[in-house]
Amino acid sequence: MAESTDDTDCGCPEFSGMSRRGLFRGALSAGLTTTALFGSTFVETSWAQPLATGAPSAPSVLVVLSMRGAVDGMSLVVPHGDPAYYAARPRIAIPASQLLAKDSFFGLHPQLAPLLPMWNDGRIAAVHAAGLPAPNRSHFAAMEEVEDAAPGSLTRTGWLNRLIGRDTFTSPLQAVHLGGSLPPASLSGPQPTVALETIGDMRLAGVDKWDVGGRRTRSMQTTWRSFGGSLGAGARSAMQAIDDFTPVKATSATPANGASYPSTDLGKALAATARTIRGDVGAEVITVDSGSWDHHVDLGTLAWGQMQRMAEEFATALAAFFTDLGGLGGKVTVVAFSEFGRRTKENNNYGLDHGWGNVMLLLGAGVKGGHHGQWPGLVNEANGDLSVTTDYRSVLAEVVVKRMGASSAAVFPGFTPSTVGALL
């Protein structure tokens, strides 16, 4: 039986890597010789280099940071040159004199200061007035629409599941959700994925020094070998991923390069993201949730409120993330965005109700820094929205094509992207 022969390691890292890859990715040998399977030379070249750990390396990593609850993008990237902004927000508008990296029209929230060095280096892009093609003010409907990103399709798959489905690999570690045990809709679909609250979660209880002869693992594999539905698939994915995830668990829990994350859920999730990337286990998509940014009440001012507190946490966590990654940051692109934006005019509670257009932020590898998109002009009336001039899929399409070597049509079926120019 294979069980006994495999106990004897040949001592050759190349072999052990190859055999593990073969086990987890049935079509690997075909993939190595058939370039067409990979879709792009870039991807093929990278995958053709087995690592000593046995886990395949991801040449590019896309981190999708969902700002749940709909952040007010006009508080983060402030259109100080639009007079309606100040007219509509007599109490919560951010004074132009306080903005960072201010040009003739936009400036950044002062609490984004930790990201200023990256901004000045041209490693952060802001695409304003982006969003869904038509307003959808329901959090839940908008999140589904944004994350399915395939209007009219009858099959419910997320855009990131389609992205990782573009190749023949089936490792559940190809897409990992970190910081929570509930995967976002963008990951749902036929490709198995992993959702982890913490890195330490990736272990099978009962597998310990007293567990002789692999009894526990065998018993669990028997138990779950045939159960159908999501739970059966999830159980098998989890057990399959445990061994391949070992290199991540072996990385130091202390961030590198003196990086200091805020001790918040977002800080922890991004620290885990950096460790997962460092572990080099083939995770090319990592999702992280942040929020709630649903600031109907007490969005506040620069002196108090939820926005100044959360903007600081957001910027500190992302700055720490890129510090932690160091040179590895050269392959990591972060996209941060929400399901929709907020109303132009403030309400009676120092807050903002549901709106439409918003800012999308891109950070890191391949990003063409600065402002992108077209500003539609604000209207100071009760129901005034920031109109959408850039479909959010055009931004994401540039990322998946230029960074991930994917086809836009496969990830965003039926959609013809316009050029945004936010990536190099």
Partner 1 sequence: MGAASRRALVALPAVGAVAVSAGVASPAEAAVYLPRAWTRTAIPTAATLHQLKRFTSGYTPALNKQVIAAGGFTKWFEKQLGGSYSDGWSSDTSRWWTSINASASEIWRRDQEGIEGMWLADANYERWTLVRRLGSQRQVLETMTDFWENHLHVPAKGEVGPFRSSYGKTIRRFALGRYDDMLAAAITHPAMAVYLGNANSSKVAPNENLGRELLELHTVGRGNFDEDDVKTSARILTGYRIDSWRTWTFSYDPAHHWTGPVGVLGFSHANAAPDGRAVLTAYLRHLARHPATARRIAFKLARRFVSDTPTDALVARLAKVYLASNTDIRPVLRSLVTSTEFRGAYGTGKKVRNPTEDVVATWRSLGATITAAPRDGEAEVAANEILWQTSSLGLRPFSWQPPDGRPDTAAAWSSTSRFLNSLDLHYTMSGGWWPQVGVRFRTARSWLPADRIRFDQLVDHLARTIHGRGSTSLLLQAACEATGCTPATSITANHQVVKYEMARLLTVFLDCPTHMTR
Task: Name which of residues 204 to 263 contact partner 1 (CB under 8 A).
Answer: 204-207, 211-243, 246
Smallest gap from Cβ 222 to partner 1, in A, equals 5
β-strand partners of 178: 196, 288
CB atoms closer than 10 angstroms to residue 408: 18
Closer to partner 1 at the Cβ: 184 or 262?
184
The 135-154 site mask, x for binding partner 1 (CB under 8 A), equals --xxxxx-------------
63 backbone dihedrals φ, ψ, rounded to 5°: -105, 120
For partner 1, which stretch binds (CB under 8 A), given 41-49, 123-131, 190-198, 400-408?
190-198
Contacting residue, 27, 93, 100, 296, with partner 1 by CB under 8 A: 296
- We find the least distance from the C-beta atom of residue 306 to partner 1, in angstroms, to be 11
Nearer residue to partner 1 within complex by CB, 195 or 420 = 195
Cα–Cα dist 128/125, whole Å = 10
Which residue type occupies 60?
A: S
Can residue 182 be called a binding residue for partner 1 (CB under 8 A)? yes
Helix, strand, or coil here: 354?
strand
**Contacts to partner 1 from residues 73-132, by CB under 8 A:** none
Ramachandran sector of residue 62 (left: φ over 0; alpha: ψ -120 to 50; beta: rest): beta
Nearer to partner 1, 103 or 381 (CB): 381
Closer CB to partner 1, 196 or 422, in the complex: 196
Phi/psi at 344 (nearest 5 deg)?
-70, -45
Q: Is 35 helix (H, G, I), strand (E, B) or coil?
A: helix
Give the contact letters, 310-349, x = binds to partner 1 (CB under 8 A), - = no: -----------------------------------xxxxx
Rounded Cα distance, 170 and 190, in Å:
10
CB of 373 to partner 1, least distance (A): 25
Residues 367-396 that bind partner 1 (CB under 8 A): 382-383
Q: How far is the CB of 156 from partner 1 (least distance, A)?
A: 10
Element (H, E) at 240: helix 229-244
For 31, the enclosing helix (H) or strand (E) is: helix 28-33
Residue 334: both structure tokens together: 């972060």
